[in-house]
Amino acid sequence: MAVGFVHTDFGLPPPSHSPALLFTVAKRYEPLAWIRGADRFSSNAAVFLQDASGRHPLIPGLAASADPTVSFDGKSVLFAGKRKAQDSWQIWEVAWNGDLPVGEPRRVTSCANDCVRPFYLPGDRVVYAKKTGGRFVVEAADLAEGNTVQLTYGPGNFLPTDVLRDGRILFEATYPLGANGTPELYTVYSDGSGVESYRCDHGKARYSGKQVVSGDIVFTSGSGLGRFTSARAQEVHISAPAGEYAGDIAETSSGDWLLAWRPDARSYFQVKRWKPGDGSLSSVTAEQNANILQPTLVVERTLPKRHPSGLHDWPNANLLCLNAYTSKYRVAAGSIHSVRLYARDSTGAAKLLGTAPVERDGSFFVHVPTEQPLQVELLDGSGKTLQRQAGWFWMRRGEQRACVGCHAGPETAPENAVPMILLMSTTPADMTGHSAPGGH
């Protein structure tokens, strides 16, 4: 595509000391197109490199490229790209010599449909979104062996947005999870277990989250910016200059943020530099007839912790709830009698898996099928629904999971007590339709 940059103020330290900056240039950008399984960028989007010598396509000759990300040691770059316009998106990797890409890019994936939005994982693995059946699912792959594992199993679309330093994958999906709704941020371990909402103060559209050096998660909230801190259970509003923000911020070594911003919905996004707290933005780069998005600095950064998968070699999974009354929902004390679990049939309709008792303390323990959408419903003594989960979750094969309550919120730690259900039996109620619950 033709690119005509109008501003050359990089806004970074002197060029000889500046890390290279990558960004995606796209005529059209629809940040939430993934919700319906569509492309976020126009078909001729391209990743550009801006360094001391100027701006160049990261990989000349590609029909399209987007979603640049840098390895933790700063020595390679991943991106989504197409060799030809009619190709599907694939994940590519190119080595980096400190200033420039070196050698030919290597294709990492062989997806029948699109694979986009890649990130490095510790342990020589990558994670990305793979389109299958018209939907994006999150998949992880071993770079050396090419072995893949699907990480998301709900209805709807899922797109990774970062890998957190504690090893979890930050991804965006709708809230309620797997249902039509508002984009929200979630986490999952790199083996697909432990899926949960990052925070439970659901409201505004939240997407394109990135973790900054402080550990906070910064993301697009509505059209502005929001932040999750470790200390707070609710989103913290970021008072940034007026305009619209596209998320996917990059943080410089001085703590400034590079972010895609536009004054209004009629304008194109351009990359600005902002010192958090300042009243104004400074220009980094812009283009007259295209958006500039996803600023990415080619620098070494902290290697996240590798998640040591503790999944067992069992076909199914076990779910323990400590106390269903611990909930953001208001459920009258003593009213919960039983729990139902649902999966989805081939038409997408809820399919009852079974019913299990809930003990007086609100605990229940069930053995469930894996790698498919699951939904919980609480019932009173007459079989009337007290509360039904709005969205869906999943469990990985061999996963054992315990929850504080039903939608308790990540800020709620468990009370230390033996769940009554485990005093009754350590064998979970079977919801799999098989005769040997317990999974082992």
Per CB under 8 A, residues contacting another protein are 122, 166-167, 194, 215, 229-234, 305-310, 312, 318, 320, 322, 365, 400-402, 404, 410-419, 422-423, 426, 428, 438, 440
Q: How far is the CB of 412 from another protein (least distance, A)?
A: 6
Q: How far is the CB of 339 from another protein (least distance, A)?
A: 16
Q: How far is the CB of 22 from another protein (least distance, A)?
A: 28
Q: Is 424 helix (H, G, I), strand (E, B) or coil?
A: helix
Q: How far is the CB of 433 from another protein (least distance, A)?
A: 20
Rounded to 5 degrees, what are φ and ψ at 422?
-80, -20
Please, are residues 136 and 129 in contact by the beta-carbon 8 Å criterion? Answer: yes
Closest CB to another protein among residues 99, 411: 411
Closest CB to another protein among residues 202, 312: 312
Alpha-carbon distance of 137 to 416, in angstroms, equals 36
Cβ within 8 Å of residue 267, ≥6 positions away: none
Strand ranges (DSSP E) for 198-310? 206-211, 217-221, 224-228, 236-238, 244-245, 250-251, 257-262, 270-274, 282-285, 291-297
Joined together, the tokens standing for residue 179 give 């249902």
**Spacing of C-alpha 110 from chain mean position:** 22
Closest CB to another protein among residues 28, 301: 301
What stretch of H or E contains 423? helix 420-424
**For the purposes of burial, counting CB atoms within 10 Å of the CB of 212, is it exposed (0-12), middle (13-18) or buried (19 or more)?**
middle
Closest CB to another protein among residues 105, 419: 419
Q: How far is the CB of 167 from another protein (least distance, A)?
A: 6
Q: How far is the CB of 411 from another protein (least distance, A)?
A: 4
Closest CB to another protein among residues 6, 233: 233
- DSSP symbols for 96-151: E-SSSEEEEEEE----SS-EEEEEEETTTEEEEEEEETTEEEEEEEETTT--EEE-
Q: Which residues pair with 270 in a beta bridge?
A: 261
Closest CB to another protein among residues 104, 411: 411
Closest CB to another protein among residues 180, 214: 214
Q: How far is the CB of 400 from another protein (least distance, A)?
A: 5
Q: Do the bridges between strand 115-121 and strand 125-132 make them parallel or antiparallel, or are there none, so unpaired?
A: antiparallel
Alpha-carbon distance of 320 to 63, in angstroms, equals 50
Task: Report how far apart, in Å, the C-alpha atoms of 68 and of each of 100, 183, 195, 366 are.
Answer: 14, 22, 25, 42
Q: How far is the CB of 69 from another protein (least distance, A)?
A: 20
Alpha-carbon distance of 99 to 226, in angstroms, equals 33
Closest CB to another protein among residues 122, 357: 122
Closest CB to another protein among residues 143, 320: 320
Alpha-carbon distance of 393 to 373, in angstroms, equals 6
Q: How far is the CB of 427 from another protein (least distance, A)?
A: 9
